[in-house]
Structure formats: structure tokens, C-alpha cells
Structure 1
Amino acid sequence: MDYSGLVLVITFFALLLLNVPISFSIGIATAVTMLFTIDFAPAVTTVAQRLAGGVNSFVLLAIPFFVLSGLIMGRGGIAKRLIECAMALIGFLPGGLALVNVMSCTLFGAISGSAVAATSAIGSFMIPQMEKNGYDKNFAAAVTCTSATTGMLIPPSNILIIYAVASGGVSIAALFVAGYLPGILVALALMLVCAGYAKAKGYPTAARLPFSVVFEKVKAALPSLLLIFIVIGGIISGVFTATEAGAIAVIYSLILSVIVYKEVKMSEMSEILLKSAETTAIVMLLIGASSAMSWIMSYVNIPQAISEFLLTLSENPLLILLLINICLLVIGAFMDMTPAVLIFTPIFLPVAEALGMSPLHFGIMIVLNLSIGLVSPPVGSVLFVGCAVAKTSIEKLIRPLIPLYMAMIVVLMLVTYVPAISEFLPNLFGLG
């Protein structure tokens, strides 16, 4: 790394410390470094070209579609039906309400593609319900926050699409399928912690419902769950691409929320479309700015320097992967997922490939790692939403969060060191 690299790093972190928005910090740091490297006119032109080029991708068209479908379904009564379905299926088990919370957040996060939406939609019902039944409010909020992150792994997931772009061409279909087992493992690990915690505290369980009631609750939630199978089934079978799947998800969510469930009125669509446009604009600005930064980092050889440094630290691949995970956990605590994936994939992916890790396996590892960052102070966005919903503080949430956090770390280590967890399903479907 030469002086240009130091300028980039120092400028970027200085702007972050000054509370400059992340997208502007990335863009300004990139422009300053370019000005330090070449003359003004070509520097400005190059930054502009890289900003535009970063979002000039057919694959990225899937993001606004999935954002819109997620917002529609978030208002379409999906959360209520998923909670009732989960309650009917597992509410009678030890720690039943906590398990219902995990299952509901996992399903809603997968359907909506948003951990924040899952935390808000599920948490606004489940946290008061758990507190009413004797659960500690902070524990309930911690369960909601951690389980909501599983939607980052279980498709349709925007962050997996972004990783596909950042990695230079990993199949979105393969990534979508690869995320299932790790996402389910995280949910199961959280459920084990919840069951143990509830048993130790003596929390009550719900009565087992008759089969007819269970059947009705599952049937009511089935149309919502069907979206996952439509999207993945169509992509795997080659009927449509990920971008086309996003458009189909919008049509399906509209029919479900407006016609079937009648929870969304057409008069509300202008507000939903505006919110969708705002969210998409933020994501696309981050992608464009991060793409420009990735280019300048490659230009001044930062990824190569870091790769060489890590590979000279040890000849043990297990140790190097552990160091990468530690770095990403720290990064995730201070940076949002989208810029983190776009900036650090070009840095760490070459190291992972040098160690024999496939880009597909690394993609699941980095997304799971940065998902943990969503519930890590001081910047974890999901953590802030969970605290707002539960009307509590981050300080009070830390203690009940620790065992759940550790469960996620255990799954992260399994995913890191057991490639089959990520690669089994893609290989099974011929996508690996």
C-alpha cells in the first residue's frame, strides 16, 4: 500500500468519525484519493464513470423489485399470519413464545428480504406478547433482533445479489440456494438457546392446539410462504432470472396483499412506491460509491498488499480464515452490510481463494458474518430498531444478547470450516 492507499483509508475513517453519511464518506474519500493520484479532470471523470458503471448492471435491477415486494408484503398482513402459523406449530414446546418469535422472524425476514422490517413487524407484536406472558422484555427484544438477521441468508436476499456483483460473477441462483442451510442452522441455534433459557427461567408454554386449528393456521400462512418457492423454484429451473423473479415477486405480493388478504389499499401504493424509491436510491448510491472505492483500492494495490500480508502471517489456512472472520466482525460492528460487502469482498476474496475456498462458500461466510454486525453495537441497525420497538436501551439488551450472539458465532465457525454446509444444495441442484 503506497501513500495513495493511506490517503484513502485516513480520509474515509476521518469522515466516518465526523458522522458524514457512509455513502458520502466513501465517495469523497475516493475522489480525494483520485486527486492525490492523477490530475483533476481525469480524476473527476473517472470517479463519475465508476459511480455510474457500478450501478449499470442488469442483475441489480432485481433489488428495487425485491425492495418493493418486501414493502408491500410488510403491510399485507403477512406478519400476523406467520406468527399464528408458528404458534400453532411450535408454541407448545419449552420456551414456546421465544421459539415462535425466532420462526416468525426467520420466515418474515426471508419473505421481505429485510432484517429491519422483520424486527419491526414481528417485534411489535411478539415482544409485548412475550412480556405479557412473563418473559423478560430485553430477552424478547434480543431474540427478535438476532433471529431477524436470518433473512439475509434465506432468499430472496438483496445482499446476496450485491455480493454476486462484488465478487465478479458468482451465480445468484447458487447463492440463493446456498443460503438455506446456513440460515436454518442459525435459526435452530437461536431456538436451542431460547429453549434452554426459557427452561432455566421457568417460562410458561402454550397449550397444544387441535390438528384442525393447526391446519387452518398453516393454510392461512401458505400463500405467503409460497413466494419463497416461486422465486427459488423459477430461478433454479431456469424459467426466469433473479431480476425477472423480483418482478414476479412484486406482482404476487400485490395480488396477495390487495386482493387475497385485503390488507393493503390501492390508495396506499403511492406511499409504498415512494418509500421503495427512497430505499432503492440509498442502496444504489452506496453501490455506485463503493464500486468507485473498490476500483481505486485495486488501482493503488490495497487488496494485493492485504492479501500478501495475511498470507505471510501464517501458513495455516484455519488461522487465516479466523483472522478474516475477526476483521469482518469488527467491520460489521461499524459499517452497514452493503458497503462492507462491496468494499471488503475484493480485499478478502482473493485471500480466501488462495486458501482453496470457493467464491460461493466465501459469499455465504461474509454475509453471515456481517449479519452478526447488524446486532452488534455501536452501529447495528437492527439493534436500534429492536430497542425502539421494545422501548428499551442497548445497554439493557447486551446481557440477554450475549448467548444468542455466541450461538451465531458458533454457526459462523461451522459455515467457515465446513464447506458442505454452503455448497451441498447448490451441488445437489447442479448450480455449484
Structure 2
Amino acid sequence: MAVTLFVSILVLMTLGFPVAFALAISAALAVFVGGRYPQLVVFKEMFTGIDSFPLMAVPFFIFAAELMSGGALTKVLLRFAAQFVGHLRGGLGYANVLSSVLFAGVSGSALADAAGPGAMMTKMMEKAGYDRPYAAALTANSAIIGPIIPPSISMIIYTLQDESVSVGGLFMAGVIPGVVIAVAMAAVNWWVCKKRNYRSTEARPSTREIIINSLKAIPALMLVVLIIVGIRFGIFTPTEASVVAVFYAFACGKWVYRTLHWSAVPAIAARSALLTASVLFVMAASAAFAWVLTVEGIPQYLSELIISWHLTPVMFLLAVNILLLAFGIFMEPLPGIMILVPILAPISAALGIDPLHFAMIVIVNLTMGMVTPPVGGLLFVTAVATRTPIAALTRELPIFIVAQLIVLAILTFVPTLSTALPHALGF
């Protein structure tokens, strides 16, 4: 079964099958060839993989993000971000990064960030004289902040695979790493703009405009505060927080910004349903794939093999980084988390590595894979949303990848960046 599983996934991924279909078909073929279990077990494990109460947070956070976008949140946050840095050299690039940070606190999805505010910022940057491929590359690489800063769909999925961490703890653990990634992307923008002489054409806003734009942005920014404070003080669980976010997003769009109309709600609900279905399908297929691995004893074998090497914690983390970087090139973050975390997290705990620190390394690492060819989902979404040739976009990537590797090394060797905030707040 194991040989059939690995050969099938390799062939199907090479042929360009969507990740979810490749995982599900590989699991089904492995069970069929093995002959020890009925085919029905594949469907059973797929349904079992998504039969979880915490998973209800995923569709609600997606729906909240869509409601906020439909309620003019994107434009409000873009104006808020641009007013502080838009007049500087490379200012719209900084605004692109800052808008990704702000929108990350709403969507929890890198793809939503790239397709929404990221696409708008790319058009604004091109009109201001930036090369479109560079603007698109900055958008794609800044969008990886989405799954790092809370709320985060990836973090919710991670807690289902590792019971030693909580959703609230992971949410807090992602704040500082997300800011570090944003600083790295801003540094890249500074270097490129200086080298290519991208100058700002934006006028410095008046104090009155800054005050007005800031006041307008407060209701949108309060969503993040509401979620974090509510979870920290036990007012509601993360799943309940996602429902609160939906009602808050609807209230903001309908009665605060007054741009969300009843006629738009069905289309927003339909988009949210499609996004939710795609996420859950990936998770269901990953669960079936992981089940085959488990019954074949692959996780246990790998665990015993790695433990027999007697690696120090630092050597183990370096080995994990190399493994995840390679894995992330071909696999999306969600299936990567579901397949690898049950194998690696127990070994990490046995070596005395803080579970929150290890979780952030895994999540950041696999999220970086979304901007690495050939499977990088963010590259294709950004290329389509900004109408940029994928080859031209890819040529702009090396400096961004170097910056991300530096960030990953910092997060690996400075665990306090991931653990200080959640520990200070009692997680």
C-alpha cells in the first residue's frame, strides 16, 4: 500500500492534478491495491477528517472576510495604510505590505489577501510607475502574512493535529513572526525601489485627511481586537469568535460603512461556500491520505528513525526546515500540516522544543511554499488577479525568497519571537 500511495501521488502531482484530487485518488488506489480494506474506508476517513467542531470556525472566518470585503473594508484599509507611507520613496510598496498586515487580521487567508487588496495595490503601483511583475511579486510575497497573523485558518487546522497547542495560543504566537515577515518584505521593497529608482507621486496627506481616514478605519480594525480580546478573556471560544466575526462584519458593512446591500449577500455567501468547500475537500483528502500512512506504520517508522539519529534540538529544527521547504514546493500548507505534524510534533516535544515555537516554524515554512514554483498557489492566483505572466512574476522572486529564508532562520534560532507573547498572556 505504501509504495502505491507514494508512486500515485508523485505521478498525479507531476501530471498537474489538483492537490485534493491527487491525495484522494492516491489513497483510494493504495487501499484497492492493498486489498486488506474495503474501498468504503476511504470515504469514511474523508468524512471523519472534517467531522470536527473547531473546523466550524473555517467557513465563518471565510464568510466574515467576504462580508468585510463586500462592505468596503478593503478600500478603507488601503486608504488607511497608504496615508502613512504612500508619499515616501517606494511608498505604494510599503502600503502594499501594510495592507497585507491589516487585511490578515480579517481574512486569515493568503489567497484572499492576494486576490483582494493585493490585486488593487498592484494596479495602483503600476499606474505610479512600478513594473507590474515586481508589484505582483511583492503582492504575492506579502500575502503570506495572511495565515501568520490571527485569525488563521492554518493555525486552526494545526491545533487539530497537535493537542498540545491551543488556537488562542497559536493566534498570539503568530503576531510577532507576522510583523517580522512584514519588515522583511518592506526591506526588500526599500532595496528594489532604491536600485530601480521607483519614486512616489503621492502627495503627503493633510492632518485632517489622516484623522478622517483613521477614524473610518477604526471599525474595521476593531474586528481583530474583538477576536483576540474575546478569546484571551474566555468570552468566547475560537469557533464562537468566528460567528461573532460574521455578525460584526455584517454590521460594519451594512450600518457603519453602508456599502453592503442585501442584494449582494447571496453572491458573497456563494463565494464563501465555494472557498469553504475547497478547503474542506483538501482536508478530507488529506485525512484519507494520512490514514493510509498510519495503517502502514510510516509515521512510527520515521519517528523511530529520526530519534535513532540522536539529533540535538537545533539539528532537528534545521532538518525539519529542509524537509518542509522541499515538501512545500509541491504541497499546499493544509495537507502538509495534516500529513507531517502528527509525525514531527511528538518528536519535537520529546526533544524539549516549545510546541508553539515548533508550530510557528511549520506554519511559516509551509506558507512560504505558496510562493515557490512549480506548485506555488499564490503565484498563480496573483498572476491571474493582476494579469501578469507567470514567467515574469517568477523572475522577481529570488530576492523575496532570500529575505524569507533569513526570517525563517531568525524564527528558528530565536524562539522567543514565537513564544513571548502567548506566554505573557497566559497561553
Q: Compute the TM-score of the two structures, normalised by the length of structure 2.
A: 0.94
Give the corresponding residue for 2:227: 231
Give the corresponding residue for 1:67: 62
Q: Secondary structure at the match of 1:152?
A: coil
Q: Which letter maps to 2:263?
A: S
Give the corresponding residue for 1:374: 370
Paired with 1:239 and 1:140, the residues of 2 have a C-alpha distance of 41
Give the corresponding residue for 1:21: 18
Q: Deviations over 1:187-235 (max 9, x none)?
A: 0111111112212322223443222221111111111111101011100
Find 1:399's aligned residue among 391, 395, 398.
Answer: 395
Paired with 1:164 and 1:411, the residues of 2 have a C-alpha distance of 23
Question: Do the aligned partners of 1:164 and 1:170 also contact (CA within 8 Å) in 2?
Answer: yes
Tell which deviates more after alignment, 22-31 or 244-253: 22-31
Paired with 1:85 and 1:7, the residues of 2 have a C-alpha distance of 53
Question: Do the aligned partners of 2:313 and 2:353 also contact (CA within 8 Å) in 1?
Answer: no
Aligned length: 426
Give the corresponding residue for 1:264: 260
Could you tell me how far 1:323 is from its partner in structure 2? 2.4
Q: Which letter maps to 2:175?
A: Y
Find 1:179's aligned residue among 161, 174, 178.
Answer: 174
Could you tell me how far 1:326 is from its partner in structure 2? 1.9
Paired with 1:216 and 1:84, the residues of 2 have a C-alpha distance of 10
Q: What are the residue-to-residue correspondences of 1:38-49 with 2, within 5 Å?
A: 39-40=36-37, 43-49=38-44
Paired with 1:376 and 1:236, the residues of 2 have a C-alpha distance of 35
Q: Deviations over 1:250-270 (max 9, x none)?
A: 001111112222222211211
The 1:124–1:175 alpha-carbon spacing in structure 2 relative to 1, beyond 3 Å, is same
Q: Which letter maps to 1:48?
A: F
Question: Do the aligned partners of 1:142 and 1:401 also contact (CA within 8 Å) in 2?
Answer: yes
Q: Secondary structure at the match of 1:247?
A: helix
Q: Secondary structure at the match of 1:116?
A: helix
Q: Which letter maps to 2:138?
A: V
Q: CA RMSD in A?
A: 1.9
The 1:169–1:273 alpha-carbon spacing in structure 2 relative to 1, beyond 3 Å, is farther
Question: Do the aligned partners of 1:173 and 1:242 also contact (CA within 8 Å) in 2?
Answer: yes
Paired with 1:50 and 1:396, the residues of 2 have a C-alpha distance of 41
Q: Which letter maps to 1:9?
A: F
Is 2:195 the counterpart of 1:200? yes
Q: What are the residue-to-residue correspondences of 1:335-374 with 2, within 5 Å?
A: 335-374=331-370
Question: Do the aligned partners of 1:109 and 1:117 also contact (CA within 8 Å) in 2?
Answer: no
Question: Do the aligned partners of 1:159 and 1:338 also contact (CA within 8 Å) in 2?
Answer: yes
Could you tell me how far 1:45 is from its partner in structure 2? 4.4
The 1:405–1:6 alpha-carbon spacing in structure 2 relative to 1, beyond 3 Å, is same
Question: Do the aligned partners of 1:258 and 1:265 also contact (CA within 8 Å) in 2?
Answer: yes
Q: Deviations over 1:331-380 (max 9, x none)?
A: 22222221111111122223322332232222211111111111111111
Tell which deviates more after alignment, 157-166 or 278-287: 278-287
Is 2:232 the counterpart of 1:273? no
Paired with 2:28 and 2:396, the residues of 1 have a C-alpha distance of 43
Find 2:239's aligned residue among 234, 240, 243.
Answer: 243
Paired with 2:14 and 2:82, the residues of 1 have a C-alpha distance of 44
Paired with 1:35 and 1:238, the residues of 2 have a C-alpha distance of 47
Tell which deviates more after alignment, 350-359 or 382-391: 350-359
Find 2:287's aligned residue among 267, 276, 291.
Answer: 291
Q: Secondary structure at the match of 1:200?
A: helix
Paired with 1:60 and 1:169, the residues of 2 have a C-alpha distance of 17
Paired with 1:391 and 1:237, the residues of 2 have a C-alpha distance of 45
Q: Deviations over 1:60-83 (max 9, x none)?
A: 111111111111112221111111
Could you tell me how far 1:392 is from its partner in structure 2? 1.9
Paired with 1:267 and 1:69, the residues of 2 have a C-alpha distance of 17
Could you tell me how far 1:157 is from its partner in structure 2? 0.9
Q: Which letter maps to 1:32?
A: L
Paired with 1:117 and 1:358, the residues of 2 have a C-alpha distance of 30
Could you tell me how far 1:35 is from its partner in structure 2? 4.0
Give the corresponding residue for 2:407: 411
Give the corresponding residue for 1:389: 385
Is 2:423 the counterpart of 1:422? no
Question: Do the aligned partners of 1:294 and 1:342 also contact (CA within 8 Å) in 2?
Answer: yes
Q: Which runs of 5+ in 2 are unaligned?
A: none
Percent identical pairs in the alignment equals: 36
Could you tell me how far 1:314 is from its partner in structure 2? 6.5
Could you tell me how far 1:132 is from its partner in structure 2? 2.1
Q: Which letter maps to 1:362?
A: F
Q: Secondary structure at the match of 1:374?
A: helix
Find 2:214's aligned residue among 200, 215, 218.
Answer: 218
Could you tell me how far 1:169 is from its partner in structure 2? 5.1
Paired with 1:22 and 1:200, the residues of 2 have a C-alpha distance of 39
Give the corresponding residue for 1:152: 147
Could you tell me how far 1:414 is from its partner in structure 2? 1.2
